[in-house]
Chain A
């Protein structure tokens, strides 16, 4: 560290490396955003690195003439339902597993961990078959349930580590003071778990919001498509409207970018806990 800061040559090398990393990581994203704002004639002629003129025409046509608004709403419904269910269920399960003394409870954790290794189609095929049999195929509900197969292991595993590290004395003290176990859980444990809950919510949202595979298997009709599925079918169309596609891509990337700017600490924390499939 100190050697690098003292020698000017090493210093320059360090900055060059940092610039290379920034370009590699962010240039495709910059290109996506700038393409969505560039007039068509500029896109067809030799494009400059920075657009000379900005336009929102693709956003207008995307929102006014395609199913995109509907798909965006579908994505939002599915992702938020997945987040709520994941948090609700994984808090109960993780808390039960850490606090109840019973043999074999680790099987739940082991099962969840094992699910991390399942090939997506080992879950998608039977879920699709089950939903078809009960007439729930091609519904947003079936997509939420299939997303839970990704987000529940994440939530339970992450919160399990979180509750394990939380000392029992806190709840015991509350219960000595007259709290019921439920009261101690709601008033002591949950408030202290907020950072862990935020991390779980973020990654459950991320997994559901970005999913393509389960949506491809579960959803057939246009009205129930989520954005990733809808965008992917635009590429199949024979008149490629790159401006529209890049506008749609930018819009769906934005919620995650904004969340990352506001909550980057939780993103890093969740990722480094090794709890995130993807």
Chain B
């Protein structure tokens, strides 16, 4: 028993990895080479035909571009807001623990709730935002009906949900910056802005690199916010690759094409991450 415990644990690891990760991924890629109108019908080998069709479609390039815009803007806003919040919450003030706690809350909400609450707040007749804007004499915004407004809405919801991730990780980083560095910078006559750019940022660069990488990957793959808010509309204005993949596989019953879109999306992401590591190399502590 004793001698076999560790090998048995490792065997569990191999099985779990194969069943949960490698198996499904390989199966997904293999599905993309078949025509499969339903899961009970016999698959027909079509080679790379699905990939050719996907890459030739305007829908795909629209979805890729929308995904880049959505993920890109959402990350920039999350990072800027998150760092600003962390800098404020790093200062000592009365009630700081409470505000820190409140700043974490959005992260705990299921996406569905964030989307529903947003929709309720901007509801055309009863929403608090609509009522307040009307009181202040501002023109109404059609949050989901025009192309730009729909994109702004999904970005706003995403930024609100995941800013706490950046705030919390950056705040934890700030607490590790040695105070002597700030003292030295102050003696040298550096103001708060210069201390941030010449002390804080360089010290926290590795943390920031990881934050941007993780958030970038997850925003690019995020399905539920857009699906629940706009469903990809209006007229495909917010349709990105995860939605295109879902729609082709489960609404158009073309599982092969849906799998092909997911595979291409993953290859694209792998390339982006590879280039990111080339641009911002990280030290390996494994």
Contact = CB atoms under 8 A, between A and B. Distances in A.
Interface of A: 1, 3-5, 11, 14-15, 17-18, 21-22, 24-26, 28-29, 31-32, 35, 43-44, 46-47, 89, 92-93, 95-97, 99-100, 102, 105-109, 111-112, 114-123, 125-127, 129-130, 132-133, 145, 148-149, 152-153, 156, 180-182, 185, 206, 209-213, 216-217, 227-228, 231-232, 235, 242, 245-246, 249, 252-253, 256-257, 260-261, 264, 267-268, 271-272, 274, 276-278
Interface in B118-156: 118-121, 123, 126, 128, 131
A271 B168 contact: yes
B112 interface: yes
Given A31-B121, A96-B13, A260 B108 contact: yes
B48 interface: no
Given A93-B10, A121-B246, 12 more contacts: A31-B121, A95-B6, A105-B10, A118-B221, A119-B269, A121-B249, A122-B24, A130-B27, A182-B1, A206-B108, A249-B113, A268-B104
Given A152-B20, A235-B119, A271-B168, A21 B85 contact: yes
A171 to B, nearest CB: 11
Interface string B254-277: 010011011101100110010000
A153 B21 CA distance: 9
A119 B265 contact: yes
B237 interface: no
Contacts of A242: 120, 123, 126
Chain B CB within 10 Å, residue with most, of A107, A123, A252:
A123
B193 interface: no
Contacts, number: 279
Interface band, chain B: 35 or more
A159 to B, nearest CB: 12
Contacts of A115: 20-21
A249 B117 contact: yes
A17 B88 contact: yes
A126 to B, nearest CB: 4
B263 A122 contact: yes
Interface in B14-61: 14, 16-17, 20-25, 27-28, 31, 39-40
Interface of B: 1-2, 5-10, 12-14, 16-17, 20-25, 27-28, 31, 39-40, 85, 88-89, 91-93, 95-96, 98-99, 101-114, 116-121, 123, 126, 128, 131, 160, 162-165, 168-169, 172, 182, 192, 210-211, 214, 217-218, 221, 223-224, 227-228, 241-242, 245-246, 249-250, 255, 258-259, 261-263, 265-266, 269-270, 273, 286
